[in-house]
Structure 1
Amino acid sequence: MTGDRSVPGTGSPPDDAPFDGKAFARGLSTAPGVYRMIAADGSVLYVGKAGALRKRVASYFANTPKASRTLAMLSQVARMEVTVTRTEGEALLLENQLIKSLRPRYNVLLRDDKSYPYVLVTQEPWPRLALHRGPRSVPGRYFGPYPGVTAVRETLNMMHKLFKLRSCEDSVFRNRSRPCLQHQIGRCTAPCVGLVPAREYADAVRRATLFLEGRSDELTRELGEAMEAASARLDFEEAARLRDLVASVRTLQARQYVDGRAAELDVLAVAMQGSQACVLLLAFRDGRNLGTRAFFPKTNGSDNPAEVLAAFVSQYYGEQPAPREIVLDRAIEDIELLEEAFTAATGRKVQIRHSVRGERAGYLDLARRNAEMSLATEIGSRAAQRARLDSLCELLGLVRAPSRIECFDISHTMGEATVASCVVFDAEGPVRGQYRRYNIAGIEPGDDYAAMQQALTRRFRRAAEARDASSLPTTAGAAAGGDGADTTQPDTGAAAAREAGPSGVLPDLLLIDGGAGQVAQARAVLDAFGIPAAGGPGESGVIVVGVAKGEERRAGHERLLLPDGRELRPGTDSPGLQLIQQVRDEAHRFAITGHRGRRQKARSVSRLEDIPGIGPRRRASLLKHFGGLAGLKAAGIEEIARVEGVNAALAGRIYATLHGLPDAVPPGTPPTSR
């Protein structure tokens, strides 16, 4: 692609002059590219792609009837920028990247902060078959994405029954000394203790991969040949096992066929009520129905279903690999361009259709009805959310509903692996892309006050720096927008105020899970950074409220510690307290999940791995000999030295490491003398 430009060749207009869109368009080329409309405060209003930049941009400023939303957008344009690309497909990719990073005010935005689940086959000597979410950083093959976790769990359940691959984590796999329950119920061949030959396990992995790739015919043919070979060598037990496996795969094939063949398609339907939209995805892979998933894009005032669906298709498949066939419930613009871009990205032909018959028409009708029901449910939940916000305002004496709520919580196990969480809610519910975890270090174990002070300091230091650098508003409610991108670094300009995420925008309401001590820490941190905190109803600044547990820690009996020193007990029937409980419970869930992960990571690294001279084989021999790490730790040096491959010096190093001694224990030294 080539460079950017923002004004026509005649020079920049004066700062107070209105933007001349016609003159700007005349200075553009007819090449494909991306254009950006920018307001006077530097915020991006709209990002669009064009096959011919001059023609597309000129159409906005021609004397033709336009929707009120478009007129409102054009009235705010102070300047435009364009980026010329080599092809329309390149323009499509760049448009998606800019929409995701800039989040323009008038674009339809796909609000989806959930990671997609995959089936993972790891790349290691004894591969593991498991569910995976998040960054694809683990070496191996990923199959998906699936529309929901339920479909992945069903697939894994079926595959463990068929191919008997291990599902345990590596920390468990390395330290097993006897088969687990999965082997006893016939769902794993127990490679952890050597009950299956490496070649046989590799064959099972290859066959599972064939099944996940949709090559079921090839799999059944291979299994049939193996069954005949086993029968020929009179290995009738193996032949019977393969016969049952072939029967199971063929039964699944019979259930999975769509239109007589294994289909790979997505069915999409959109439902709208006013400017609220729901796009429903019904996915099929290898002919199997993987279920549905509802998306609720942010329409930014658009009431055109085709525009919403086109934006969804472009943004969703810009992130996820497109299937061979995409069926839509209506025609959208640039179908040929989208097909070309998706085909180039996947390396195989992708077809987008909107006029279908037979079975696919039935799937479209099913998707439409599910989209309408999902939208009705979402609208009902939003109405309930607004009612709870109104109740919260009345409960806390707020002049207006908070547009940004943050809640902090601390989680640890007797001081071990302390983690603090920060969750963010807006008027529509959780904003998961802006959640944060803080690994707490350098404090006395179990000191919740110090942990809270450290987490809040790390959170609000960047907010203060961003505010000082770019004159950010003191509350999220004062900043336009509030659906910021997930970033932790301060930015500059008015656009940064909307997009700075949790670091640059301050909350209207700060909830602290704890009593007076934790609340005092929060107010001290805000004071230290010069961030105003409200001292009573109607005052400006961040409102700090403590959420203390009630009698016997029962839900609904929480005490709210207000900034003016009052203490409220709203009771179980208060919708405002129910909203606070939802936010607090989410902060608790997020904190304890992070704590458990950090704790497990610390515990899963075997202390034997740190000892020079102990590799995987000696470690397995030691654990097998003593029945696990606990048995090894209880053994003396002489007993350890009896294990094959372990000499006296190594036994001393092992004993010293397991007992936290500074150096190796000489052979023959009684443990009690140290």
Structure 2
Amino acid sequence: MEPEELKTGEYLKGIVQNLPEGPGIYQYLNAEGTIIYVGKAKNLKRRVYSYFSKEHEPGKTRVLVSKIADIRYIVVNTEEDALLLENNLIKKYKPRYNVLLKDDKTYPSICVQNEYFPRVFKTRKVIRNGSSYYGPYSHVPSMYALLDLIKHLYPLRTCHLSLTPENIRSGKFNVCLEYHIKNCAGPCIGLQSHDEYMKNIGEIKEILKGNTQEISRTLLQQMQELATDLKFEEAHILKKKYELVESYRAKSEVVSSVLHNIDVFSIEEDGEKSAFINYLHITNGAINQAFTFEYKKKLNETKEELLSLGIIEMRERYKSLSHEIIIPFDLEMELTDVIFTIPQRGDKKKLLDLSLLNVKQYKADRMKQSEKLNPEQRSMRLMKEIQQELHLEKPPLHIECFDNSNIQGTDAVAACVVFKKAKPSKNDYRKYNIKTVVGADDYASMKEVVKRRYQRAIEEETALPDLVITDGGKGQMESVRQALEEIGVNIPIAGLAKDRKHRTSELLFGFPPQTIGLKQGTPLFRLLEQIQDEVHRFAITFHRDKRSKRQVASALDEIKGIGEKTKSLLLKEFKSVKRIREASEAELTAVIGEAKTKVINDYFNAPTIGK
């Protein structure tokens, strides 16, 4: 160890030994003084000591520890304070070894503008000027439905005029079309008072918060009072508004309205790279806020660590004061006056399932977007899926699949197709005539071909596949296993079986073979189906060609004086025996000469053959 490293090690050891045993935040800095990691701890001393007390496995954690040149820490009162501070510091400094919040998709919100006569409109920009923002709305139709409800309930201005009391009194404005079609009550010329307008804005804010139940109750009460006073026209106007609110509530309410002011969180991982977290806020049984975001992993963080960070981020961002949080699994985190619930059934389970549905859809959308930009990413994902399903040591970037074809043992052939990175590699396809097997014995034919292929691969020192697939079930797999064992090659073997309708039905793996459950219609299932269809097509095509050539050539084989070279010339020129028979003497002479033309004509014109 270098003297400088020894000095640094002693310096860090001194800091660790003097750390307090309470909750707090620790920051690791590199030699340049840059913060490279921020973490939280219930017990600062124990947590930081764990980084230096053992030899870490090769990977990012070991690299992180090797780069630590200094440690800073902040003592806090509670674990909740530590969670909040950790989240804020990660966002502020974006340390290299902390998770990265990928928040690049801007969902629209509804803004109630901070002005004398506030406007209500959709926006994607949040400007801190005293305006109120509601959302964001990941499901844009829901936002438009809400804006439409507000438009029909309350007359609001949509103009950009500076409606100050002075400007209105001076009479510098005129009403516009919106006033004439009764969408605006004319505050610009003093036809609607500021108090009446702001009363409407107050009710609009309650609707945007999700408190439609209270608005509905108020409208019903006012309607009944007007009806009692025999003011039926005014009561009818309120009745229309009441029906609009009730209609909106019926569409927006996903669970019982008893469930109020609840946060819901779920998480879905994408291997070792990313995690996606969905957040729903429930008000009176309806989703009032919905947002999904991505964390890029840096140190193989657990789902529990990432979800804890996500909960703090979302609650802080949307100023949530919910006293209940629904989560999919237990978390070692405590928040003041908050109950964590892991529902097993009922309306709360329905909300959790809805959150999971949202996060899975978001993950699928992101994967589609990234695969469009990088098609090879899709191939690697499929390879990793096969690796996980079959518990292989590495992704099967090179797959070979075999199939046999014969009719009652005649013209027996086999074929091998090759897929590299989930794409057909047609230059590597191979056809085989069965040499050692007599009759229809598919298992023996498979064993012969596999043995021939990989024996040659060993002799020529060409690359062996990462996975061998047979077009067939357990018997074919056993034939491949025996062939590989006899030549001393160890390659994982899988089998693809078809159902009675000749459709890909199941994947087999292992000895004894076990059925691997594959969901039909998934990209992985379609890849395996493509491999099976391709090897079957290739084998059948080769078999037909061989059978056709044998049948076509058989008529010429009986002609004495016509050898292989002459037959090849004739078939190349005329394509079939029928055309050779119908060709004129001049056409035949041009290809094979007069002597051989006479031999052919004598044969075809002989009485036993017929014309």
2:9 pairs, out of 16, 19, 25, with 19
* C-alpha contact (below 8 Å) 1:19/1:79 kept by paired residues: no
- Spell out, residue by residue over 1:451-507, the C-alpha distance to the aligned partner (whole angstroms, 9 max, x if none): xxxxxxxxxxxxxxxxxxxxxxxxxxxxxxxxxxxxxxxxxxxxxxxxxxxxxxxxx
The residue aligned with 1:152 is 143
Of 235, 241, 245, 2:241 maps to: 245
Deviations 1:249-269 (CA, angstroms, capped at 9, x unpaired): 233334444234253334332
- Indicate the SS of the match to 1:45: strand
Q: 1:16 and 1:373, CA in 2 relative to 1: closer, same or farther beyond 3 A?
A: same
Deviation at 1:198, TM superposition (A): 4.4
Could you say which structure has the larger radius of gyration?
Answer: 2
Distance 1:245 1:86, change over 3 A: same
Relative to structure 1, the CA distance from residue 42 to residue 359 in structure 2 (aligned partners, 3 Å threshold; closer, same or farther) is same
Superposition pairs for residues 297-336 of structure 1, below 5 Å? 297-302=295-300, 304-322=302-320, 324=322, 325-334=324-333, 336=334
Cα displacement (A) at 1:156: 1.5
In structure 2, what is the equivalent of residue 121 of structure 1? 112
Query: 1:408-464 CA distances to partner (integer Å, 9 max, x unpaired)?
Result: xxxxxxxxxxxxxxxxxxxxxxxxxxxxxxxxxxxxxxxxxxxxxxxxxxxxxxxxx
User: Could you tell me which of 169, 173, 177 is aligned with 1:180?
Assistant: 177
Q: Which residue of 2 aligns with 1:354?
A: 342
Give the aligned partner of residue 476 of structure 1.
Answer: none
Q: Is residue 41 of structure 1 aligned with residue 28 of structure 2? A: no
Residue 47 (structure 1) shift: 0.3
SS in 2 for 1:17: helix
State the SS of the aligned residue for 1:280: strand
Is contact 2:260-2:283 (8 Å) kept? yes
**Counterparts of 1:31 and 1:128 in 2: how far apart (Å)?**
50
Name the counterpart of 1:640. none
Task: For residue 53 of structure 1, report the CA deviation from its aligned partner.
Answer: 1.4
The residue type paired with residue 156 of structure 2 is: L
> For 1:31 and 1:291, how far apart are their aligned partners in 2?
36
Quickly say closer, same or farther: Cα 1:196–1:308, change in 2 above 3 A. same
- Which of 43, 50, 53 lines up with 1:62 in the alignment? 53
1:162-311 to structure 2, matched below 5 A, reads 162-170=153-161, 177-181=174-178, 183-257=179-253, 258-274=255-271, 275-290=273-288, 292-302=290-300, 304-311=302-309
Distance (whole Å) between structure 2 residues aligned to residue 135 and residue 264 of structure 1:
23
CA shift, 1:220, in A, is 3.4
1:51 to 39, 42, 61: 42
Distance change (3 Å), C-alpha of 1:221 and 1:318: closer
Amino acid at match of 1:359: D
Contact 1:148 1:293 in 2 (8 A): no
State the Cα deviation string for residues 32-65 of structure 1 (Å, max 9, x = none). 2210112233332210112221122122233487
**Preserved CA contact (<8 Å) 1:267 1:282:** yes
Q: Distance in 2 between matches of 1:62 and 1:355?
A: 39
Q: Secondary structure at the match of 1:224?
A: helix
Contact 2:262/2:281 (<8 A) preserved: yes
1:441-590 matches, within 5 Å, as: none
Distance in 1 between the 2:48 and 2:42 partners?
11
Contact 2:29 2:37 in 1 (8 A): yes
Distance 2:319 2:257 in 1: 24
Q: Distance in 1 between matches of 2:302 and 2:38?
A: 17
Change (3 A) 1:153 1:142: same
**AA paired with 2:187?**
P
Given that 1:322 and 1:350 are in contact with CA atoms closer than 8 Å, whether structure 2 keeps it comes out as no
The CA distance in 2 between the partners of 1:287 and 1:243, in whole Å, is 23
Equivalent residue of 1:297, what SS? Answer: strand
* Contact 1:33-1:88 within 8 A present in 2 as well: yes
> Structure 1 residues 331 and 82, CA, compared in 2 at 3 Å: closer, same or farther?
same
CA distance in 2, matches of 1:209, 1:291: 14
| Distance in 2 separating the partners of 1:140 and 1:281 | 23
Once the 2 structures are TM-superposed, how far is the Cα of residue 272 of structure 1 from its aligned partner? 1.8
TM-superposed CA distance for 1:241, in Å, is: 0.5
The separation in 2 between residues aligned to 1:210 and 1:318, in whole angstroms, is: 21
Matches of 1:295 and 1:59, distance apart in 2:
31
* Cα offset, 1:98, TM superposition: 1.4
Cα distance change, pair 225–386 in 1 and its aligned pair in 2 (3 A):
closer
Q: Which digits, 9 at most, give the CA deviation of each residue in 1:560-591, with x for residues without a partner?
A: xxxxxxxxxxxxxxxxxxxxxxxxxxxxxxxx
Deviation at 1:292, TM superposition (A): 4.8
Q: 2: CA distance between counterparts of 1:152 and 1:293?
A: 13
Distance 1:76 1:199, change over 3 A: closer
1:123-170, Cα deviation, whole Å (9 max, x unpaired): 444332223443443334444454465543332221111122223333
Map 1:335-350; keep pairs closer than 5 Å.
336=334, 339-340=335-336, 349-350=337-338
Structure 2 Cα separation of the partners of residues 123 and 147 of structure 1: 24
1:605-659 per-position Cα deviation (integer Å, ceiling 9, x unaligned): xxxxxxxxxxxxxxxxxxxxxxxxxxxxxxxxxxxxxxxxxxxxxxxxxxxxxxx
> Structure 1 residue 293: deviation in Å?
3.8
CA distance in 1, matches of 2:160, 2:137: 22
Q: Please point out which of 348, 352, 362 is paired with 1:364.
A: 352
> Residue 118 of structure 1 contacts residue 146 of structure 1 at CA under 8 Å; is this kept in 2?
yes
Maintained 8 Å contact 1:108/1:311: no
TM-score (norm 2): 0.53
Distance 2:341 2:58 in 1: 28
- Identify unmatched segments of 5+ residues in structure 2: 378-611
| Structure 1, gaps ≥5 residues long | 1-12, 341-348, 390-674
Residues 219/316 of structure 1: CA separation in 2 closer, same or farther (3 Å cut): closer
Q: Give the aligned partner of residue 365 of structure 2.
A: 377
Q: Deviations over 1:207-254 (max 9, x none)?
A: 323333444444334333433443355432111111222232233334
What is the CA–CA distance in structure 2 between the aligned matches of 1:262 and 1:188, rounded to whole Å?
35
Cα offset for 1:356? Answer: 4.2
Where does residue 564 of structure 1 map in the other structure? none
Taking a change above 3 Å as real, the CA distance of residues 375 and 123 of structure 1, as seen in their structure-2 partners, is: closer
Residue 464 of structure 2: aligned partner = none
In the aligned structure 1, how far is the partner of 2:371 from the partner of 2:213? Answer: 51
Amino acid at match of 1:322: S
Deviation at 1:27, TM superposition (A): 0.9
Q: Which amino acid aligns with 1:59?
A: S
The C-alpha deviation readout for 1:268-325, integer Å capped at 9, x for no partner, is 3222232232223344334323575432222125263223222222333333312523
| Aligned partner of 1:93 among 84, 90, 106 | 84
**Is the contact between residue 269 and residue 368 of structure 1 (CA under 8 Å) also seen in structure 2?**
yes
Closer/same/farther in 2, CA of residues 66 and 367 from structure 1, 3 Å limit: farther
Q: Distance in 2 between matches of 1:297 and 1:383?
A: 18
Indicate the residue corresponding to 2:75 in structure 1.
84
SS at match of 1:110: strand
**Aligned residues of 2:259 and 2:282 also touching (Cα < 8 A):** no
Q: How large is the RMSD of aligned CA atoms in angstroms?
A: 3.4
Residue 351 to residue 180, structure 1, CA distance change in 2 (3 Å): farther
| 8 A Cα contact 1:110 1:315, kept in partner | no
Deviations 1:1-22 (A, max 9, x none): xxxxxxxxxxxx9566343555
Q: Relative to structure 1, is the Cα distance of residues 261 and 39 closer, same or farther in structure 2, using a 3 angstrom cutoff?
A: same
- Displacement of 1:177: 1.9
Which structure has the higher relative contact order (CA within 8 Å, separation 6+)? 1
